[in-house]
Amino acid sequence: MNLTALQEQAIQLDEFDPLADFREQFHIPVINGKEVRYYTGNSLGLMPKTTPDYLMEVTNDWARLGVEGHFYAKHPWLSYHEIFPPLLAPLLGSLESETVVMNQLTVNLHLMMVSFYRPTAKRFKILCEGRAFSSDQYAMESQVRFHGFDPEKAIVEVFPREGESVIRKEDLLESIRQQGDTLALVLLGGVNFYTGQLFDMQEITRVGHEVGALVGFDLAHAAGNVPLELHDWEVDFATWCSYKYLNSGPGGVSGVFIHKKHHLSDLPRFNGWWGYRKEDRFQMGKGFIPIETAEAWQLSNAPVLSMAAHHASLDVFQRAGMERLHAKREQMTYLMIDGLTELKRLHPGKFEVFTPDSTQERGCQTSIYFSSGGRSVFNELEQAGFITDWREPGVVRVAPVPLYNRFKEVADLVTQLDSILSS
Ligand SMILES: *Cc1c(COP(=O)(O)O)cnc(C)c1O
């Protein structure tokens, strides 16, 4: 499809987009008096216009009620976090008892490994994807050392084959089988942050369990992006952040999923008062009696201000509906692929697309790799008001999202890249 046809198709798609009105519900950043074209919803999602109202509700209740806000706020702070499981269930494919919103992502990765990484002399390895996000690598390495093992021996990274950009599913599954009874934990990013590759979490979980390992996912780039069925897939645990696709503000509160089958098990866990049985939590006696859900993993009382922003955003998701979001995301992906295919024809050898084409293997993000000159392409995009993101050594990541991006922005990006690469 030539670039004129691409533009025309984008305009058509926008015209018939049932989610088109949702863009109005977000603040689009303005630079030099002009709305930017925003492609970094995978890094920091935009702010819903309702967010300040949700925050103000909390600050007003605080001003009005002081400590009594725990009980008498419009949404009482004592149980504020209980708002989230029903809102998250359709995004995650979870039972309401299986999620809890708490802490930050890396903190939660550690807490999950406390429970789900219990190495023995024989079964001590963690399998992850090569080029996992830095913080995940540091968390895994330090957990391994904490248990007295050597990360060099205990961490198994699976890489793409020579000359390929993403990891083959059969290689991943084969590595899991190969590690067999030495494997304690499989811990992957559900969607890799660098390549945008979406892993087959159901199959990975199945094969991980087959060899007797536990299986968890970091869903930082998956939650609010791709369809998830964590409960049915029997994933043991997952954790994510809320500030990327979930639009809940910088450093926003994280969440965890813990499969029901583990709630009453004897897994070790770091405890705090907010995980204690609710009926008599405030007796504050000796001996810990856990809540019989994922809430048992909570340590502290809820960071309500951060949660208010999360609440605002998840209400937008609920109004949009995941089915419509997934349908639009797929259409945006097809348009992006058509555009980049044409761009490749026009500029052979200038760039390579890392992200797989199949919507089974990717979400919103496309990672465009430039073996040289990528940084200046990124800079030129920025100067033209296109906000994308740069990852060393040569990747421009772009992630138009169905909630607030237009199809036109996908076509515009391709057109802009064409003009940059032509000059
Ligand atoms: C964004 C991201 C993080 C960030 O961790 P924080 O604890 O929220 O700072 C960690 N892991 C992955 C895979 C990410 O994409």
Direct distance between the N- and C-terminal alpha carbons of the chain, in angstroms, rounded to an integer: 22
Ligand 1 nearest atom to the CA of residue 109, by list position:
7
Question: What distance in angstroms lies between residue 229's CA and the mean position of ligand 1's atoms?
Answer: 21
Would the CA dihedral through 38, 356, 368, 340 be positive or negative?
A: negative
Going by alpha carbons, the residue nearest to atom 10 of ligand 1 is 135
- For the chain, the structural domain boundaries read 3-42+321-422, 85-311
Mean residue pLDDT across the chain: 97
Say if 3-42+321-422 and 85-311 have the same CATH topology.
Answer: no
Question: What distance in angstroms lies between residue 244's CA and the mean position of ligand 1's atoms?
Answer: 9
Alpha carbons 131 and 112: distance in angstroms, whole number: 21
Angle (CA) 265 269 271, round 5°:
120
Question: What distance in angstroms lies between residue 253's CA and the mean position of ligand 1's atoms?
Answer: 12
Query: Phi-psi category of 249—alpha, beta or left, where left has phi over 0 and alpha has psi -120 to 50?
Result: left
CA distances (Å), 93 to each of 86, 88, 97, 198, 319, in order?
11, 8, 12, 16, 17
> What mean pLDDT is predicted for residues 126-136?
96
Query: Phi-psi category of 170—alpha, beta or left, where left has phi over 0 and alpha has psi -120 to 50?
Result: alpha
CA distances (Å), 212 to each of 28, 193, 219, 364, in order?
48, 27, 22, 33
- Topology at the third CATH level for domain 85-311: Aspartate Aminotransferase; domain 2 (3.40.640)
pLDDT in tens, 37-59: 999 999 999 999 999 999 999 99
| Residue 422 pLDDT class (50, 70, 90 cuts) | very high
Question: What distance in angstroms lies between residue 241's CA and the mean position of ligand 1's atoms?
Answer: 7
Question: What distance in angstroms lies between residue 105's CA and the mean position of ligand 1's atoms?
Answer: 6
> What mean pLDDT is predicted for residues 361-381?
96
Which of 128, 129, 136, 221 most suits a substitution to test ligand 1, by most atoms within 8 Å of the C-beta? 136
pLDDT for the residue 161: 98
CB 6 within 8 A of CB 411: yes
Question: What distance in angstroms lies between residue 139's CA and the mean position of ligand 1's atoms?
Answer: 11
pLDDT over threshold 90, residue 76: yes
Superfamily of 3-42+321-422 according to CATH:
Aspartate Aminotransferase, domain 1 (3.90.1150.10)
Ligand 1 nearest atom to the CA of residue 106, by list position:
7
Question: What distance in angstroms lies between residue 192's CA and the mean position of ligand 1's atoms?
Answer: 11
> What mean pLDDT is predicted for residues 333-345?
97
Ligand 1 nearest atom to the CA of residue 193, by list position:
15
Question: What distance in angstroms lies between residue 365's CA and the mean position of ligand 1's atoms?
Answer: 16
pLDDT over threshold 90, residue 362: yes
What are the tokens at 24?
């109005």
Going by alpha carbons, the residue nearest to atom 8 of ligand 1 is 105
Ligand 1 nearest atom to the CA of residue 254, by list position:
8
pLDDT in tens, 154-199: 999 999 999 999 999 999 999 999 999 999 999 999 999 999 999 9
pLDDT for the residue 1: 86
For the beta carbon of residue 340, count every other beta carbon within 10 angstroms. 21
- Partners of 362 in beta bridges: 197
Ligand 1 nearest atom to the CA of residue 107, by list position:
7
CB 187 within 8 A of CB 218: yes
Alpha carbons 175 and 44: distance in angstroms, whole number: 33
What are the tokens at 357?
């084409």
**CB-based contacts of 232, cutoff 8 Å, min separation 6:** 93, 202
pLDDT over threshold 90, residue 272: yes
pLDDT in tens, 82-113: 999 999 999 999 999 999 999 999 999 999 99
Which of 106, 187, 243, 391 most suits a substitution to test ligand 1, by most atoms within 8 Å of the C-beta? 106
Q: Of 251, 249, 324, 254, nearest to 50 (Cα)?
A: 249
pLDDT for the residue 278: 93
CA distances (Å), 13 to each of 28, 323, 380, 409, in order?
20, 17, 27, 11
Which residue ranges have their beta carbon within 6 Å of ligand 1?
104-106, 133, 135-136, 189, 193, 218, 220-221, 241
